[in-house]
Amino acid sequence: MFVSDRAILHLDMDAFFASVEQARRPELRGKPVIVGGERGGRGVVSACSYEARVYGVHSALPIAQAERLCPQAEFLPVDMKAYLAVHRSLVGLLERYTDLVEVASIDEAFLDVTGSRRLFGPPRTIAHRIQEEVYTGHGVTCSIGIGPTKLLAKLAAGMHKPAGIGELTAADVHGRLRDLPVGDVCGIGPVTQERLAALGLTTVGMLQDVPFPLLAAAFGRGAHGLRQLALGRGLSPVRSERPLPKSIGRELTFDDDVSGGDPLRATLLSLTDSAVAGLRRKGLAARTVTLKVRFSTFHTVSRRRTLPRPVSAVRPLFGTVTALLDELDIGARQVRLVGVSVSGFTQNAFQLTLDDGWREVALGEAVDRVREKYGFRSLTLAGGASAYRRLEHDSPAQSFHPAAQAARDTTASSSGASPPAPVAAPAAHARRAV
């Protein structure tokens, strides 16, 4: 069932990171741009312009492969500070049209403009105005979908990229949507798509028509939700407050493979510090720590451990990371990538204990204030300074999903190897122009 008078917009920025770079450097307009690292790097593509996509380049593609596919492209490092600045400005723009703005990601947002029509006109007029303001203010384009539900609005935006405006109504569900691949529907991921394909269900129309008992036999309780998705019936309202993230974490690909030892532990220390900074920014504490390791063979493993209480300080979290590393018994194997993430959040990040834990939390908050003013590398943890140089231009603490890997849960005490206490970085890294 639809709430037919609802007017939901879905704003989807077009090749966001690459578009910001093209706007900052007009000589790159119309040329293939790949964001993620410099030529010869070992990272992956974070974003690419539409000019690069013509050559088969896409996000998550190794930089080396992208270079082979599109050697004439301009390769640029990630400048998350610049992208976040544009993102925040765009959110402020959207909030001038409605207070019901749900930020889905750094380059996507939903707006409920049902109550804004008297002030700003019909939804399509609002969409045109937003597009014009986005381009005039930042030199980037966006696609906007309109629909009575978030699902239909998102599908409409995807069908009119780049720089388009599209609308889907309840009447379109049994018409325009039927030939869409099921994978185009938000909420149907790759695993579910494979299971549907095994049943011969590859399009939205097939999912609409399949006898429900057959669907229920294959998906159990999830069958009802799948049917609702196929019918475009996403009735969840636009929420102006974002839900808690599933996880906060960082990953880093080494320029050259490393084995176990001090360089690896120093990198894990810097990653843990970065994840903890993300925790404190959101006012959270975490109970679960996950370590991810990818070897030179591209074999990836992860280990996860749950602490007895939520924490938001580096020392107990890094102690758990090193314990998980010891479990892996890396030995002489070469490591290509490592990642640290935290999850199992509570809202109150300040955990008053009978020991000195509160002192470390207070110290962390002081470090945050310095970093906010002078940059993340203005203060580093002893022993990890070299690794911080790799993190400065990367994205801030963000989600990754190690649950997809072979994770192993154990329950641990907060004891374990202790990292160095937070201290100022060596002078060469601590100086910052004021």
Catalytic residues: 108
Question: At a CB cut-off of 8 Å and minimum separation 6, what does 136 contact?
Answer: none
Contact 55, 69 (CB under 8 A): yes
Radius of gyration of the chain measured on its C-alpha atoms: 23
* Rounded CA separation 219/421 (Å): 50
**Dihedral (Cα; 425, 420, 337, 39), 10-degree rounding:** 10
Pairing mode, if any, of strands 74-76 and 33-35? parallel
Residue in the structure block whose two tokens are 């603490």: 397
Q: 9 pairs with which residues across the strands?
A: 111, 146
Write down the H helix ranges in 260-307: 262-281
**Dihedral (Cα; 159, 165, 169, 174), 10-degree rounding:** -20
- What's the distance, Cα to Cα, between the start and end of the chain in Å? 58
Q: 105 pairs with which residues across the strands?
A: 108
Which uninterrupted H or E stretch holds 228? helix 222-230
Buried b vs exposed e over 338-359: b needs ≥16 C-beta within 10 Å? bbbbbbbbeeebebeeeeebee
What's phi and psi for 419, nearest 5 deg?
-80, 170
* Rounded CA separation 403/246 (Å): 11
